[in-house]
Amino acid sequence: MLKNFHSLLQRIIHSSEQIIKFSMVGVLNTLIGYGVFFIFSIYINYLLALFVSHIIGVIHSFFWNKYWVFRSSKNKIREFLKFYSVYFVMLVLNIALLTYFVSILNISPQISQLIILPFLTILTYTGHKYWSFKK
């Protein structure tokens, strides 16, 4: 019983540590990605700005998540493809939501993206934990 409790406690600590690291990477990635989106959306179409910020964000996020958050040593190419598949689904969802918020609700692209990001962050963490970097 004590061994089971110790094992459970270790898993909780590990998961908490992982969530904190993922959140730190997420904050950094959000600052970079949103910064690129915000600046580009002033000068070009907001959906094109989203695409540019998406590419920069995915590359930045992959390396931090692979080596620091999930500490994975598996095949880089295979993991990147899995990682990108999660981000591709998030991109499609982001485009749909952003278009809805901007075109239907008449909310500025910059504010709309701020509203959408927390929801996408939760989905992204879940996808990476259980798909991209599954142990």
Does 9 have pLDDT greater than 60? no
pLDDT average, residue stretch 96-121: 95
What band does 57 get if pLDDT is binned at 50, 70 and 90?
very high
pLDDT at 12 over 80: no
Question: Mean of the pLDDT values across residues 20-45?
Answer: 92
Task: Indicate if the pLDDT at residue 6 is higher than 60.
Answer: no
Q: Count up the domains in the chain and report the number.
A: 1
The predicted structure's pLDDT at residue 8: 60
72 confidence band (pLDDT: 50, 70, 90): confident
Higher pLDDT, 4 or 42: 42
Q: Where are the alpha helices (DSSP H) in 1-135?
A: 2-43, 46-64, 76-99, 109-127
**pLDDT (0 to 100) of residue 128:** 86
DSSP secondary structure letter of residue 78: H
Note down the domain range covering 93: 2-132
Residue 14 C-beta-side C-alpha neighbours within 13 Å: 9
Average pLDDT estimate for 85-96: 95
Closest CA to 40 of 27, 53, 23, 24: 53
Per-residue pLDDT, averaged over 49-77, amounts to: 91
pLDDT number for residue 125: 85
Say how far apart CA 69 and CA 37 lie, in whole Å.
25
Question: What's the pLDDT at 115?
Answer: 95
